[in-house]
Structure 1
Amino acid sequence: MLSFFASFVLEMAIVQKIMRWDMTVLRESLLYQTILQEGFVKGEQQGENNYLKLASIDFSLSVSQIYPRIIS
């Protein structure tokens, strides 16, 4: 957000250099690392949930193909 406003009074190249430096410092902070780790955990959980949903759909389709009269 600040970089947006800074671009009104500074050259974009200078703003980009500042932002790169800020991002480097931010990535090394404990808060950033904690937030990043939480994001990885949530992503893994969502991936596992999506896999289980797809596996159950695939299984139900397989069963209905094998036993179409029982399911109908």
Structure 2
Amino acid sequence: MNSKGLDYTLLTLVIIGAVNWGLIGFFRFDLVAFLFGDMSWLSRIIYALVGISGLYLLSAYGRIRSIDQA
């Protein structure tokens, strides 16, 4: 998978995480827990992937900055 494909995949995971946090904040409804169980092994993997995706996408700031300077 090239970098662009990885970026889009991880961005999709982060958006899913943001929507889930919005649902928790506005309605106290955890979509991941609803679909996969409250802190089941599958929901914990999803939470971990969303977190790792967010950390990876921090590097997007550096790449955007380097593109602007080019």
Is this a same-fold pair by TM over 0.5?
no
The TM-score with structure 2 as length reference comes to: 0.39
The TM-score with structure 1 as length reference comes to: 0.38
Which structure shows the bigger proportion of residues in helix conformation?
A: 1
Q: Which of the pair has the greater relative contact order for Cα pairs under 8 Å at 6+ separation?
A: 2
Task: Work out which of the two has the higher radius of gyration on C-alpha atoms and give 1 or 2.
Answer: 1
